[in-house]
Amino acid sequence: MTRALIVVDVQKDFCEGGSVPVGGGADRARAIADLVQGPERNGWSRVVATRDHHVDPGGHFSPDPDFRDSFPVHCVAGSEGGEFHPLFAPAVEAGAVDEVFYKGAHSASKSGFEGFTAEGTPMADWLRDQGVDAVDVVGIATDHCVKATALDAVKAGFTTRVLLDYTAGVAADTTDAALGELGRAGVDLAGTPVVLAG
């Protein structure tokens, strides 16, 4: 089995101080940076990261968000909030991440599997081209984009595991519901999710 790590949306707007902050986001950014630069890195043939990269996502941005399907403006393409969190960015700059996938230019696009490289290659195609057949998923937020990415990984035929110690959830109820949905879909859940006030 050839396994890759998918790091989901470790961006400024999703961490403390951002426009849609997730409690524990900055701490997870630090932990994930250590993970991808540590000895565990050798367990993955590839490490990739996703970025929300919104241009005009329609109803995904709302002045009256429900924080499930609609949210305040966040991760606009070219904005500071759309950049990788400064605790994670150095790992990317040092080459610990093999590829970045941009998602959501004109839609919500919660799943990393809706993302593309800068050259336009979809994530599933890129992973298969690298010989990957299994993925681990980490990042922000457990109950939104991490969940969507892991569910789509299963649908795409990848053996899928979520490393919960390296995720952060928005709320306890939605995180619990997400874990149930992931388990029913056949996703292996390892560790304990972080859920703090944003």
Active-site residue identified among 9, 52, 136, 143: 9
CA distance 80 to 121: 25
Residue 42 CA, distance from chain mean position: 20
* Catalytic status, residue 145: yes
For 195, phi and psi rounded to 5 degrees? -135, 105
- Ramachandran assignment for 157, one of left (phi > 0), alpha (psi -120 to 50 degrees), beta (any other): left
Active-site residue identified among 15, 52, 103, 147: 103
- Element spanning 149, H or E: helix 147-155
Active-site residue identified among 15, 143, 145, 152: 145
Q: For 18-29, what is the HEC assignment?
A: CCCCCECHHHHH
Task: List the one residue out of 190, 140, 138 whose CA is nearest residue 170.
Answer: 140
Active site residues: 9, 103, 145
